[in-house]
Amino acid sequence: MEHQCGHDKFKEEYKYESIPSDSVEQSSDIRNLQFKQARNMVITYNMDYFKPLATSPLKDKLIGITNSCEKALNLATQYFSRLIKIFPKKEADMRFKYSNKKCGLVPIPDIDRSQGKNSDLHLYISYTVEPGKNTLAYAGWCQFIDRLGPTHGTVNFNLGLLAAKNLQDPIVFEDLMEIVIHEMTHVLGFSDNDVPRWVNSKGQPHTVPIVKFVTRGVERLFLRTPHVLAFAKKYYGCEKLLGMPLENQGGSGSAGSHWEQTAIADEYMNASSSHTQAHFSGFTTNLLRDTGFYAEVNFSMEEAMTYGQGKGCEFITGKCDQNIREFCTPVQDDGLCDYYHYGSSSCSIGEYNDSDCNTSKIYANTKCWDTNSDFNTKQNQSVYGVKFGINSKCFNGTLLNKNYIQNNKLKGNCYQYQCNRNLQQLIIEVGDQKIICTQNLAQIKVSEFSGYIQCPENINEFCGFKKYCPNYCSANGYCLKGQCYCANGFYGQDCSNYKGL
């Protein structure tokens, strides 16, 4: 789904200040005895704001949207519970202390001021109806205790946009869940306003966590907290790297609160949602470590990326090299596969790219995983031998049924594929035939077709690209490294079975 992050909307409309930790009253509840034992993060939420929708004339449709929003929230809380371990906060810390009557749009219940939630973060969920906006959701914190991190926050859904989406479609629901995880990551600390509040292992603010530096003629911010800096240096192969560049475009909510699109594309914390699959990478997990608010961030959940990996300092600070796959040449490269081979694409500057840094964006009807694509027809299957589905990727070539006149135009098409166990060999299905790739960029002929199909530039790398889960977890779970993790009550390889709660 098309989505522009609305974190700026929250920051501009709501001005909240953090609470000094020494001003929070002490409590003798049982959680004080548990401080030295970290637990999986517990996130609770309140959806009372949605209750009036039950009497709306459009209640049947609105209840369906509400249920999808809550399911996405529930799965996101499960995701972060698996990702983060935290030392439980005191009961007093989890009381709402601010004099503000609302968190975002939601009135604070009186009981939340006198009795703290038995959780590590409590969210107030709201909605707006803004069909003319391109923001599906936004989020931020509304209570933050210095050195401990956020205690209360809000997530707002734009029902005006969501009403036009088929949230029962597992592909669409997966996009919604990715957006919720993105927005909740802002609440957890990924915001330019919060970086000065991050603390080191001694509980003190980081020394110069952000520096300014001019690259490609633009002054930008580089995040240089210890874990992020070490990871970025190793990832790009650049020991001189000042830090990880933050987004410098898109207004106050995008600039400084997201990873720079030109440096790392298709990451969960880019300013605009991925048109393919977002990766929750080591950049973001290390950022969460550097906040100092969390006892442990699960390394095993980091999703491997290759975009810009090993390309050196020049990739970050120099000109964009259109001879490497991360970048492209407009018109000349239109129709070729995108970087991760999700589909054929157009080459353009993009909203958040640096100038002269053109990247590929897949066409709406050539997403290889989408069997509903209007390019997935019997005619195209006959003419090009294509096949769409979760086990398909884009391959460049000039293949054309011999009954048609060949124009030798190199372009990307979707084919089912399979990698062997050591990721060194690739089997591609063209129609009812199978061809084997063992050599990078090899051009392979296929009987009954003129032209050739081209093997990937790096077969080993290609075979390690992120894969889709079976049936996209049936809109009942989240996908992590090819495996579905089901919502409560659902089970099975694709979370399609229901056993009840």
Q: What backbone torsions phi and psi does residue 478 show, to the nearest 5 degrees?
A: -115, 155
Note if 183 is an active site residue.
yes
> What is d(CA 320, CA 71) in angstroms, rounded to the nearest whole number?
41
Q: Tell me the CB-side half-sphere exposure of residue 235, using CA atoms within 13 A.
A: 22
CA distance 80 to 117: 18
* N-term to C-term CA, the chain: 30
CA distance 3 to 9: 14
What are the C-alpha distances in Å from 124 to residues 48, 61, 259, 347? 8, 22, 26, 41
46 in Cβ contact with 107 (< 8 Å): no
Sequence-separated (6 or more) residues with CB below 8 Å from residue 49: 105, 106, 124, 125, 126, 127
Q: Which of 183, 260, 267, 326 is catalytic?
A: 183
Classify the phi-psi angles of 208: left when phi > 0, otherwise alpha if psi is within -120 to 50, otherwise beta.
Answer: left
Helix (H) or strand (E) holding 214: strand 210-215
For 335, the token pair is 């129709």
Q: Please state the three-class secondary structure of 328-345 as a single string.
A: CCCCCCCCCECCCCCEEE
Region of 293 please: left (phi>0), alpha (psi -120 to 50) or beta: alpha
Q: Evaluate whether 25 touches 272 at the Cβ level (below 8 Å).
A: no
Q: Which of 101, 197, 140, 189 is nearest to 10 (CA)?
A: 140
Phi, psi of 92 (to 5 degrees): -65, -35
Among 440, 389, 442, 377, residue whose Cα is nearest residue 417: 389
279 known member of a binding site: no
- Please name the residues in contact with 158: beta carbons below 8 A apart, sequence gap of 6 or more: 6, 127, 128, 129, 130, 133, 135, 136, 137
In order of 59, 340, 350, 413, the CA distances from 83 in angstroms are 35, 25, 31, 36
Instruction: Find out whether 182 is annotated in a ligand binding site.
Output: yes
Q: 27: part of which helix (H) or strand (E)?
A: none
> Do residues 333 and 344 make contact, with C-beta atoms less than 8 angstroms apart?
no
Q: Residue 77: CB partners within 8 Å, gap ≥ 6? A: 43, 44, 45
Active centre residues (catalytic) = 183
- Show binding-site residues for Zn(2+): 182, 186, 258
